[in-house]
Structure 1
């Protein structure tokens, strides 16, 4: 199986750079909504969803090539959005933690970041929903580029913009910085959740459920009163 984008050499170079910078990196203090961060748990590279006044912030480290992440996104997150995020109780942030095949994960997350703004989270949603098909297409005759180009086109990019996105070193460095921040925080697998800075203890031997996360969020909300 061969994935031709982003360049593996470029990814390797930036991964090494990210590792070298990890020890001295300082977390930024503002987010993509502009101005000051709504909480101490958010960073300049985040695309938060939910009220700035929420007393609880849930961070998810996940990958668009991770089946467990897709399960969480499709079967757990909608309930959390309905019961906690929409009512303004919880603020939610998705952070990238690319998993193998790294080139595919990086490509998907790059498209999302290049789309930017509200489209970024919409791209993540599309990639999660189409995860199985995208991986299958990447292994087929049309290849990985066409599979991900189709997604990019659906969000208003043209092919030239897509190609430029795949070579965007600044965005690649951002992905590595986000990943390295996760590693520094103790992330070893995906999805990993942090609720007001505390790592959520995922159940052993089964998928995370909305009930599991709801109990943890209720506990955090009670403490935050």
Structure 2
């Protein structure tokens, strides 16, 4: 599955993403960011979805190589987007928190950031929905780069653009800073949610459902009315 960033290389890229990491896996837009934060719950590197006037900010720390994140993305997030984000009640932020295999996760997140705008969301969606397939392909004879290139091409990114993206040290530093921020906030696995700055967890022993998150969001909305 070996994949090497053109200039950074496996050791450097993986080491910076793993620095200070306390866990080894996951549990049950373009460029560095979207500009000036709309609230104190946001940071400059965020690429939010939803109204700036939303009363509730939902932050998800996730990894494109985490199966639990893929399940959340496919089963829970669409419901939350339709019910709250599209109606202007919630502002949603996806923050990258790469999990093993670190290099693949980091490359996927870089690729999405480089694509930018709606294409960033398109790539994250493709990585999550096709997670099993592209990670399996990365272990095959064509290797990780081709597996990622197939997804990049679907969003209109050329191989040259992909290579340039993988060598973007400034953007890699942005991802490192996001992950460091997550660790400081107490993130120990993915997906981890924060609703208006407060960590939200599902009942112990099972994966988070749309009903769980809806109850958390509704409670937060009730507090700010």
TM-score normalised to structure 2 length:
0.89
Q: Does 2:17 align with 1:11?
A: no
1:193-204 → structure 2 map (5 Å cutoff): 193-204=193-204
Deviations 1:8-66 (A, max 9, x none): 133146448x76xxxxxxxxxxx9444x4211111111110001110000000000000
Unaligned runs of 5+ in 1: 20-30
CA RMSD after TM alignment: 1.7
Partner of 2:89: 89
Unaligned runs of 5+ in 2: 21-31
1:1-225 → structure 2 map (5 Å cutoff): 1-5=1-5, 7-12=9-14, 14-15=16-17, 32-34=33-35, 36-225=36-225
CA distance in 2, matches of 1:12, 1:72: 25
| 8 A Cα contact 1:68 1:190, kept in partner | yes
Deviations 1:116-168 (A, max 9, x none): 22221221111101101011100111110000011111112111111111111
Deviations 1:165-196 (A, max 9, x none): 11111111111100000000000000000000
CA distance in 1, matches of 2:87, 2:117: 22
CA distance in 2, matches of 1:189, 1:65: 12
Which 10-residue stretch deviates more, 109-118 or 180-189? 109-118
User: Structure 2 vs 1, CA of residues 33 and 100 (structure 1 numbering), >3 Å: closer, same or farther?
Assistant: closer
TM-score normalised to structure 1 length:
0.89
**How many pairs are equivalent?**
212
